[in-house]
Copies of this chain bind each other. A is one copy, B any other.
């Protein structure tokens, strides 16, 4: 055994354990009896403690020091790069800070939920203040003199910077605001007003999931409070939810999670249970869920097929024809909640959070001023005022969980999806003919071959550039959105 073999065997076991922890999370959201919660907390803590100890195991440093990088092939070099980055990252954070953060985040989640319930920002401020102090400390330790926000962003979207992200977002914001004003000012179809059998929604979702190429032999679809995808390799499970009045929630949540799951299932099996055996970044992951959900799933062609399917399953549900159905699927709504936002307005939500959290980590904004900053910015971008804290600062759990630097990956995913969609459409000029029949195979095959198969082998930007022939930029997404929604 060479040092590389030893290192990889150790990491393989770590990846397997991390899959086990992930499965435990899935179980908690889908199968676990409620009364098991206190015990489950101890089970999670024990798994985290094992995984943390392994992530800072001194033998990793020894193996990294002993191996001969010149002798490694591409795959081995990428594995070593990923392991080294992660090992060096973990070594920079003092163990007691990591522990404080994990314990503060766990208690902050409970306090955030209570504050949101009570519409009580004052109760939330000291909670987020403590998290902010710890995250600033962590960011400083990680940055080691460089930019602290970039150091946090790197955990979710490696090899990029807040400045690069800001350049993209700043170019998008005025055009999205203008587009939103234009569409909202025009005529829109009515929202659905019909009751849809929830078992039938699940059956249709299952059919759509399989249609998009999700392999049920290595996965399963269940109901949960929040839709999510979990697991890698040969065991990638998804959840969705149902609401009698809003079948699009179930259908498009399913397609979104199928995008995430197909990414994991599409990774070359040579990377199974290695550090390269998972999606390379949250942004690239979101590009897959979004392109399945939006550029494919909400296209005129595919919604034509979906209209027929839904008419078969539910009978007449009050939408006259496929064109109206297309407009209904793509209806813009006034609203406050990020997770309910449409393709146009979603990114405005993200930019708001990105600018605020970057200012916070850079020391330019304090916890006590967050609400005012949020509300001012919201009114500027959306054109109306936040009516209550649960529709404003208290709507997302992320900051309470210690997820700072995470939000921008959602919009980076949309930006990457825009790039990929343009390249895919150029490569597959007749794609709409397939989509109109519900056949997504050409599209998903293109995505698997050009994105998914690589797992963590290529850096995120390199991956998009290799797939599209161009460096990632906001231009394709803006053209797509302005073309699609500008025509309404």
Contacts and interface: CB of A to CB of B under 8 A. Distances in A.
A215 interface: yes
Nearest to A237: B33
Classify the interface of chain A: helix, strand, loop or mixed: helix
B46 A13 contact: yes
A343 interface: no
A428 interface: no
B20 A24 contact: yes
Contacts of A217: 33-35
Contact of A42 (B12, B40, B49): B12
Given A12-B42, A17-B47, A33 B218 contact: yes
Interface residues of A, number: 39
Contact of A32 (B35, B45, B235): B235
How many copies of this chain sit in the oligomeric assembly? 2
Contacts of A32: 235
Contacts of A218: 33, 35-36
Nearest to A20: B43
A223 interface: no
Given A33-B220, A219-B33, A272 B39 contact: yes
Contacts of A43: 16-17, 19-20, 23
A17 B33 CA distance: 18
Interface string A194-232: 000000000000000000000111111000000000000
A35 B234 CA distance: 6
Contact of A17 (B16, B40, B46, B237): B46
13 contacts: A14-B46, A16-B39, A16-B45, A17-B46, A17-B50, A20-B24, A33-B217, A33-B218, A35-B217, A39-B233, A39-B235, A40-B234, A40-B235
